[in-house]
């Protein structure tokens, strides 16, 4: 068995670096699996997310940096600032491959420095250096300055901006200038440790593998399937901006409108900010490590006396800063996207909290005293853009918004809570929550609190044919958005599958996100033997995915106190039917939702009444440590 690469444990309190082997890393498939394992075993219930005892785990997948197409990802796992539960995210770019080539599979960051520092990784060496000259800089300036310092324009950087330094709850860590590790206030946690950046360089470009020729053959077959995919071709042509931005291809795709008060936006408005409208400003394309899709746009746009040049945009930015705020100005949407990347802010968190404020102000729940004397209204992009900066620096009303939508609403008044769009207290901006049942349900049960990248399937958005749904999942309505049939079962399957994708280090876009033909774990099995020499059966791999899901569930049960009542949709989605568009009249039936929860819990082997895990089921699957953990804390 081949187990190359090291784990670096970096203690910022005493400025020490400890290196260990990677046996456990490989056991958990790297990435999210290994990161969740570290947080589960090493962070105590009493450890506050912003205390020095919390940890940040930057973990590459075991396939990251190999010849496998799309194997570029780095997971960041920590304890969630907003709800004390598990937080995980997956970032692209070239950071993970560089870290792997430098000889490190994962970095475990613990403790806290008294003064700003950065970590420099280069070919099996790690240094902790002063970051006094970087503190206060944006992520973009930080990347440029580090590349000047290292005299290496290819240095890969994960950093925080002013938002992380100011411990904004909706801050994130940015890989280079455009790839966000965005969930759970990870930027604030990094800021609490006074860690400004991690810079990685390597002179190597190959990894040790068990059978190089065999791995290349498996990767080539995978690449052929990927490039033959119609969905992959579409993604390469227009990116997620074109595939799922506000209104999508047709302008009729559900989107979040004015804080999800509706999900149909006037196609004439969506036309102003769709991918076609941005075409004149496209100056190039880029990709993540070893990816043939090149789905990332490079834009340059002049507006209001300013020139924006940045990488973007993904669907969440178009929806979050466009339809969710009532803004149809392309410059304003791109500017908001760029500001979030520069300041190190989570797009979903910013979109949801400002949309909440807009609706609150419109309904006189918030007043000028709350907003610091600033009148705010839908579509007023000048004021909305200034609020982004205020959030990053915690200035005025921005200090309240910096708490995230749940805490901001609690801080203001109880009536404003009904307008919050959040899952497990984490604010999001989303689409199709009333009409696309599995899509919406996957966010309700997500272990990290919302977000469609935990277990929400694309089968409905892609309108998977009935016969294909039957063949693959035994669910004829898998591609029918409004069908409730076996959708709890479908989400349970996708949760396990996505846990494997996040752990192995493959981009979801190349691993079945848009084309279900690629969502086949036997493809992963074909990679593992030539990579490590281990013979792994598909059943064994699937069980590892189940373990990851159960580990995160147990962590949430004990640390965050989550129960069945927390696996829930925002009340608006169940109480306010859509008023316009092709899905007019749709809402999520509460009784059907409860039935889906029962079905979902049964699929995972959890108790229907409470949503909690059962010790007997955990032991049957061989998850004895999880059963003992829950019994120790009297939660099993």
List pLDDT tens digits, range 330-361. 999 999 999 999 999 999 999 999 999 999 99
228 DSSP 8-state letter:
T
More confident: 243 or 465: 465
pLDDT of residue 635 exceeding 70, the answer is: no
pLDDT digits (tens, 9 = 90+) for 190-227: 999 999 999 999 998 889 999 999 999 999 999 999 99
Residue 17: exposed, middle, or buried by beta-carbon count in 10 A (0-12, 13-18, 19+)? middle
Q: How far is CA 236 from CA 242, 446, 570, 603, in A?
A: 10, 28, 34, 35
Angle 590-604/437-444 helices, nearest 10 degrees? 70
> If pLDDT is split at 50, 70 and 90, which confidence band does 250 have?
low
State percent of the chain over pLDDT 90: 89
For the chain, give the mean pLDDT: 95
Domain 6-201, CATH among 3.30.870.10, 3.60.9.10, 3.30.565.10, 3.40.1160.10: 3.60.9.10
User: Where, residue-wise, is CATH 1.10.599.10 in the chain?
Assistant: 437-632
CB 11 within 8 A of CB 108: no
CB neighbours of residue 457 within 10 Å: 29
Dihedral angle computed from the Cα positions of residues 64, 68, 70 and 71, in that order, rounded to the nearest 10 degrees: -10
* Res 248 pLDDT > 70: no
Domain with CATH 1.10.569.10 in the chain: 229-246+254-427
- How large a percentage of the chain has pLDDT more than 70? 98
The pLDDT tens digits for 97-155 are 999 999 999 999 999 999 999 999 999 899 999 999 999 999 999 999 999 999 999 99
Number of Cβ within a 10 Å radius of residue 111 = 18
270 and 246 in contact (C-beta within 8 Å)? Answer: yes
Q: What is the pLDDT of residue 101?
A: 96
**502 HSE (CA, 13 A, CB side):** 28
Q: What is the mean pLDDT of residues 507-529?
A: 93
Distance CA 348, CA 345 (A): 9
Burial 233-261 (b: 16+ CB within 10 A, else e): ebbbebbbbbbbbbbbeebebbbbbbbbb
How far, in Å, CA of 528 to CA of 539, rounded?
14
> If you search the block for the tokens 């990685």, which residue do you land on?
200
Q: What is the mean pLDDT of residues 397-408?
A: 96
Q: Are 441 and 459 a contacting pair, CB within 8 Å?
A: no
Count the Cβ atoms, other than its own, within 10 Å of residue 542: 18
The CATH topology of domain 437-632 is 1.10.599
Give how far the C-alpha of residue 457 lies from the chain's centroid of Cα atoms, to the nearest Å: 15
Predicted pLDDT of residue 483:
97
- Determine the pLDDT at residue 513: 87
Residue whose structure tokens are 């470009």: 205
Cα–Cα distances in angstroms (integers) from residue 139 to residues 75, 107, 180, 238, in the given order: 19, 20, 11, 26
Start-end ranges of CATH 3.60.9.10 in the chain? 6-201
β-bridge mates for residue 558, sequence order: none
Assign 247 a pLDDT band (cuts: 50, 70, 90): low
Q: How confident is the model at residue 499 (pLDDT cuts 50, 70, 90)?
A: very high
CB neighbourhood size of 522 (10 A): 9
Show the tokens assigned to 173.
Answer: 């860590």
CATH of the domain spanning 229-246+254-427, picked from 1.10.569.10, 3.30.70.1400, 3.90.870.10, 1.10.10.10: 1.10.569.10
Residue given tokens 């149909």 in the structure block: 264
Kindly tell me the burial class for residue 59, based on how many C-beta atoms sit within 10 Å of its own C-beta (0-12, 13-18, 19 or more).
buried
pLDDT tens sequence across 53-101 = 999 999 999 999 999 999 999 999 999 999 999 999 999 999 999 999 9
The pLDDT, as a whole number, for residue 246 is 72
Strands (E), 382-503: 422-423, 426-427
Q: What is the average pLDDT across 488-497?
A: 98
Q: What pLDDT, on the 0 to 100 scale, is given for residue 362?
A: 95
In order of 276, 340, 389, 450, the CA distances from 317 in angstroms are 16, 10, 16, 16
Query: What pLDDT does 421 receive?
Result: 94
Which candidate, 249, 274, 287, 235, places its Cα nearest to that of 512?
235
Give the whole-angstrom CA distance, residue 461 versus residue 480: 8
Q: Residue 412: is its pLDDT beyond 70?
A: yes
**Cα angle for residues 51, 554, 41 (degrees, 5° grid):** 50
DSSP category for residue 517: G
- State residue 381's pLDDT score: 97
Residue 517 has pLDDT above 60, yes or no: yes
| pLDDT at residue 249, as a whole number | 63
């Amino acid at each position: 068995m081949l187990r190359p690469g090291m784990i670096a444990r970096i203690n910022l309190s005493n400025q020490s670096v400890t290196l260990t082997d990677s046996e456990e890393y490989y056991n958990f498939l790297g990435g999210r699996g290994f990161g969740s394992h570290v947080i589960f075993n090493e962070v105590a219930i009493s450890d506050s997310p912003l205390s020095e005892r919390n940890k940040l785990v930057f973990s590459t997948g075991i396939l990251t940096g190999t010849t496998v197409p799309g194997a570029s990802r780095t997971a960041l796992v920590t304890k969630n600032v907003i709800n004390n539960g598990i937080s995980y995210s997956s970032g692209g770019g070239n950071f993970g491959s560089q870290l792997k080539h430098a000889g490190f599979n994962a970095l475990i960051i613990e403790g806290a420095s008294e003064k700003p520092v950065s970590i420099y990784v280069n070919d099996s060496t790690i240094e902790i250096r002063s970051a006094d000259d970087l503190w206060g800089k944006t992520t973009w300036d930080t990347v440029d300055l580090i590349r000047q310092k290292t005299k290496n324009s290819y240095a890969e950087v994960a950093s925080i901006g002013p938002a992380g330094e100011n411990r904004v709850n909706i801050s994130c860590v940015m890989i280079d200038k455009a790839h966000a590790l965005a969930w759970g206030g990870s930027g604030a946690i990094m800021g609490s440790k006074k860690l400004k950046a991690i810079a990685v360089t390597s002179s190597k470009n190959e990894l040790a593998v068990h059978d190089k020729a065999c791995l290349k053959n498996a990767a080539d077959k995978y690449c052929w399937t990927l490039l033959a995919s119609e969905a992959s071709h579409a993604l390469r042509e227009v990116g997620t901006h074109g595939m799922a931005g506000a209104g999508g291809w047709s302008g009729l795709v559900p989107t979040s409108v004015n804080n999800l008060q509706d999900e149909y936006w006037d196609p004439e408005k969506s036309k102003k900010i769709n991918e076609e409208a941005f075409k004149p400003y496209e100056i190039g394309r880029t990709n993540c490590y070893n990816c043939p899709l090149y789905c990332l746009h490079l834009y340059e746009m002049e507006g209001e006396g300013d020139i924006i040049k940045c990488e973007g945009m993904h669907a969440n930015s178009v929806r979050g800063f466009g339809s969710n705020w009532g803004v149809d100005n392309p410059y304003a949407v791109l500017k908001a996207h760029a500001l979030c990347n520069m300041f190190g802010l989570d797009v979903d968190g910013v979109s949801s909290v400002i949309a909440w404020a807009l609706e609150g102000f419109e309904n006189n729940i918030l007043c000028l005293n709350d907003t610091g004397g600033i009148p705010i209204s839908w579509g007023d992009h000048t004021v909305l853009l200034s609020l982004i900066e205020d959030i990053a620096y915690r200035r005025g009303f921005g200090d309240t918004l910096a708490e995230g939508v749940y805490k901001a609403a609690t801080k203001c008044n109880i009536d404003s809570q009904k307008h919050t769009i959040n899952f497990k207290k984490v604010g999001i901006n989303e689409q199709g929550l009333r009409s696309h049942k599995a899509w919406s349900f996957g966010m309700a049960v997500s272990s990290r609190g919302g977000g469609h990248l935990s277990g929400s399937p694309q089968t409905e958005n892609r309108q998977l044919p009935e016969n294909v749904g039957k063949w693959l999942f035994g669910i004829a309505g898998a591609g029918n958005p409004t069908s409730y049939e076996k959708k709890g079962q479908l989400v349970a399957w996708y949760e396990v599958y996505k846990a494997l994708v996040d752990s192995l280090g493959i981009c979801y876009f190349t691993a079945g996100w848009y084309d279900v033909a690629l969502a086949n774990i036997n493809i992963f099995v074909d990679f593992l033997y030539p990579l490590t020499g281990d013979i792994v059966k598909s059943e064994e791999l699937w069980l590892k995915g189940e373990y990851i899901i159960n580990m995160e569930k147990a962590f949430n049960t004990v640390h965050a106190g989550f129960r069945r009542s927390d696996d829930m949709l925002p009340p608006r989605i169940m109480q306010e039917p859509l008023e316009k568009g092709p899905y007019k009249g749709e809402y999520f039936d509460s009784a059907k939702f409860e039935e889906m929860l029962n079905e979902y819990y049964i699929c995972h082997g959890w108790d229907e009444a409470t949503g909690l895990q059962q010790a007997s089921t955990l032991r049957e699957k061989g998850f004895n440590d999880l059963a003992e953990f829950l019994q120790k804390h009297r939660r099993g």
